[in-house]
Amino acid sequence: MSVISQLGIAVIAIIIAAGGVVGYTKLHDASQKNPLSVTSSKSTSTIVPDVRTADWQIYKSNEMGFEVKYPQGWKAESYPHQVLFSPIDKSQYSSSYWIMFDRADSLIVKTYGDDLEKYFPLNQGQSIESKNDMVIDGKKSLEIKIISTIPSAGIKSLVGPYVVIKGSSYAFKATSGLSLWQSKGSETREDPQVQEKLDIFNQMISTFKTI
């Protein structure tokens, strides 16, 4: 199993476990409040850099072959084929939040090619809730959100977003440590800071470019 697949499984498990964090409030349609800055052509959105990132820090990796901006007050931690972004002061959020970029190895790219959905391996109890075709840095990209269910506990969560950016011989995957909402029985809750977190993820994605 690849590093990306292993990390994807771990990420989902962590997000589901964190879904019951204290301080969640009633669901509102936050996923529609703060879309990426786009210009649209038919059903594909072309992402353009968000002007609000002008004073952000720049992460650049010649080894991984990309650069991206990230907020002031955040840090970047580099690992083989991965970089993890997170706030230095974690107390500013009521629940854990981070954003990770992975570079897929050549075998994965050769196997999956341009079938971008395959870059998001689903586990039991998971299904794709929504898809959005995009162009980021001139490259074919796809954003998805995943419904994750635990029938035995009566829990359902919407997690993501996840974005894959596909070049000619490589692919990058961006993951947010975010549960958009969680329901149990008749009650639905969401992180009170979900809008702020989505905003940061979308702004970072808008500044992505290969080097």
pLDDT at 29: 42
pLDDT at 18: 41
Distance CA 196, CA 4 (A): 26
Residue 22 predicted with pLDDT over 60: no
Domain boundaries, the chain: 3-210
pLDDT, average across residues 94-110: 91
pLDDT at 58: 98
Residue 3 predicted with pLDDT over 50: no
pLDDT at 17: 42
pLDDT at 168: 85
3-state secondary structure of 78: strand
The token duo for 3 is 């590093």
Q: What is the largest CA-CA distance in the chain?
A: 49
Residues whose CB falls within 8 Å of the CB of residue 29, separated by 6 or more in sequence, listed in order: none
Residues whose CB falls within 8 Å of the CB of residue 88, separated by 6 or more in sequence, listed in order: 73, 74, 75
- CATH superfamily, region 3-210: Mog1/PsbP, alpha/beta/alpha sandwich (3.40.1000.10)
Distance CA 138, CA 90 (A): 34
Distance CA 160, CA 173 (A): 12
pLDDT at 16: 40
pLDDT at 95: 83
Give the pLDDT confidence of 26-79 residue by residue, as tens digits: 333 433 344 444 433 347 889 999 999 999 999 999 999 999 999 999 999 999
Residue 181 predicted with pLDDT over 80: yes
Which of 33-47, 61-75, 107-121, 188-202 has the weakest average pLDDT?
33-47
Residues whose CB falls within 8 Å of the CB of residue 174, separated by 6 or more in sequence, listed in order: 99, 100, 101, 162, 163, 164, 165, 201, 204, 205, 208
pLDDT at 93: 87
Percent of the chain with pLDDT over 90: 61
pLDDT at 146: 96
Percent of the chain with pLDDT over 70: 80
CB atoms within 10 A of CB 21: 15
User: DSSP E strands: which ranges in 2-125?
Assistant: 25-26, 38-41, 44-47, 57-61, 66-70, 74-79, 82-87, 99-103
Residue length of the chain: 211
> In the structure, what pLDDT confidence band is assigned to residue 165 with cuts at 50, 70 and 90?
very high
CB atoms within 10 A of CB 76: 17
**Cα torsion 209, 77, 107, 111: sign:** negative
Residues whose CB falls within 8 Å of the CB of residue 178, separated by 6 or more in sequence, listed in order: 15, 97, 159, 160, 161, 191, 194, 197, 198, 201
CA dist 150 → 17, 22, 186 (Å): 11, 20, 15
pLDDT at 185: 82
Please state, rounded to an integer, the average pLDDT across all residues of the chain. 83
pLDDT at 158: 93
